[in-house]
Amino acid sequence: MAKQLHLGAFMRPVSIHTGAWRYPGAIRDANFSLAAIQRFIRSLEAAKFDYFFMADHLGVLNLPRHALMRSHTVTSFEPFTLLSALAGVTSRIGLVATASTTYDEPFHVARRFASLDHISGGRAGWNVVTTSNPDSSRNFGLDTQPDHAARYHRAREFYDVVSGLWDSFADDAFGMDPDSGIYFDPDRMHTLNHKGEHFSVSGPLNIARPVQGCPVIFQAGASDPGRQLAAETAEAVFAAESTLEGSKAYYADVKARATAVGRNPDHIKIMPAVFLVVGDTVEEARAKRAKLDSLVHYDSGIHSLSGMLGHDVSGFDPDGPLPEIPESNASKSSRRFMIELARAENLTIRQLAAKAGSYGGLAFVGTARTITDEMQHWLEQGACDGFTTMFPYVPEGLEDFTSKVVPELQARGLFRSEYEGETLRDHLGLPRPDNRFFA
């Protein structure tokens, strides 16, 4: 049997495109409408998607009013609250949320994800991030955020503490014997007593070991520290490469790093993010993309670009080239991508802002057949294990993919027609980890 793709859906925001809410027929309040999001996740589960993913931001971006007023991401649900609600209207699809290692505490994160894993019957995943938005720091009593290297150093210890807390109880700790009156065996409980550079955490966690043993660990690191953290800890990676050759190199690098630290490289799934626009003809799909891109206002695009670069470029000549941009504490991958794009295509700041406000990364724009061709080619070329899909607008863009592309993938044997397991680990073909403290 041919290797099959994994498919996840990036759903917070419901579209990464800043013009999505303006597209004809779009659900304007989709980012904070429970009814709409329930509709989306049911469609994705019916299409047998591996997971539904919610990114998160810990503050409203500090934009000028004329840019902020155009943002459809200024309001959205807190991920754990929403995913717990969505667990009740689904039964198989994975539920993945971002939680920051920069502005949260390990005990909080361990408890929330363990709870979500139990509530959902083993479908939780944690996207481990170091917060790169400098505006978030002011919501947590800080004037500036920690630098890039310090954030990753903290993240590594944060992960160790969280994963240790998940192993607080042996799987058989809760005998719940009514005859003896013994609810659990204290000899099957472990107190972590972690004391490190960043954290001092006693434990144990006050919830039973997660159904999956450990919720699936996701990451998105593109920088060297990010790749190394992924190789050491991640089980699925949101890659951001926009070319086939770039993704092949990233895929090989992360898998090699995993092998070097003694991990099975097949236990890390590389899932590039891809923006999808589906039409009945290639020309129709391109026209949809052009219409969508035309809805991005320059005020919005220029501040999206500034955020990605970690530097305010709104004062430069819009029709001039991008000047040299100094290093910052912003996301290294976003900064690198936009600078390389500007240089490779000789773009003006205005043109680059249009791409930043729309979506300048990997995009498949075409018919069900041509998009399936591209996905199959990436899989067979060793550039990915699947894709984290992003829809141009909702509901139409999402339903175009689930009703047209998914059946084509299934017909070629590239994607499942039915779920074969119950948990997110089952869907991704990942083993349930042993408890490090108990046989």
| Binding-site residues from annotation for FMN | 56, 98, 148, 152, 223
**What is the spatial distance between Cα 437 and Cα 164, in angstroms, rounded to a whole number?**
9
CATH of 6-280+360-428 given 3.20.20.30, 3.40.640.10, 3.20.20.150, 2.40.50.140: 3.20.20.30
Is residue 299 very low, low, confident or very high in pLDDT (cuts 50, 70, 90)?
confident
**What is the spatial distance between Cα 233 and Cα 265, in angstroms, rounded to a whole number?**
11
Identify the weakest region by mean pLDDT among 149-158, 178-187, 245-254: 149-158
> Beta partners for 218?
127, 236
Q: Can you give the pLDDT at residue 141?
A: 67
**C-beta separation of 250 from 231 below 8 A:** no
Mean of pLDDT over the chain: 93
Q: What Rg value do the Cα atoms of the chain yield, rounded?
A: 22
Identify the weakest region by mean pLDDT among 13-27, 146-160, 190-204: 146-160
Q: Can you give the pLDDT at residue 149?
A: 79
Digit-coded pLDDT (tens) for 358-377 = 888 899 999 999 999 999 99
Half-sphere exposure of 151 (CA within 13 A, CB side): 26
| Predicted confidence (pLDDT) at residue 324 exceeds the cutoff of 70 | yes
Spatial CB neighbours of 89, under 8 Å, sequence gap ≥ 6:
38, 41, 42
Is residue 303 very low, low, confident or very high in pLDDT (cuts 50, 70, 90)?
confident
Tell me which amino acid residue 240 is.
A
| Binding-site residues from annotation | 56, 98, 148, 152, 223
Digit-coded pLDDT (tens) for 99-116 = 999 889 999 999 999 999
Domain range summary for the chain, segments of one domain joined by +: 6-280+360-428, 297-357
Digit-coded pLDDT (tens) for 117-158 = 999 999 999 999 887 666 666 666 666 666 777 888 899 999
Q: How many helices (H) and strands (E) does the chain have?
A: 15, 12
